[in-house]
Amino acid sequence: MSRMLVSTLWQKLIFATMVIVLLSVGVRSKTFCPGTCEKFPNCNAVCEALGYQKGQCVPPDRVFCCCGHKAM
């Protein structure tokens, strides 16, 4: 009985891990940060040129220029 319980818990843990990994990969692929805002002062224009819909210097320190929502 305890082996069956451990096996069931193990299967649920593996399934939950797979779901988390798949969701994080999907979310991560929608954002791209080509460099710093010092290097790319017009972050939005750079992102649009790379095929993304928008770009901005991200908080908290507004150091990195990040692009989002890739245009298809």
Residue 28 has pLDDT above 90, yes or no: no
Q: How many domains does the chain have?
A: 1
pLDDT of residue 72: 41
Residue 4 has pLDDT above 90, yes or no: no
String of DSSP letters for the chain:
-HHHHHHHHHHHHHHHHHHHHHHHHHHHTTEEEEEETTT-SSHHHHHHHTTEEEEEEPTTTT-EEEEEEE--
Domain housing 36: 2-70
Residue 12 has pLDDT above 80, yes or no: no
Report the CATH number that the domain containing residue 28 is assigned in CATH.
3.30.30
39-67 pLDDT, tens digit each: 999 999 999 999 999 999 988 788 899 99
pLDDT of residue 23: 56
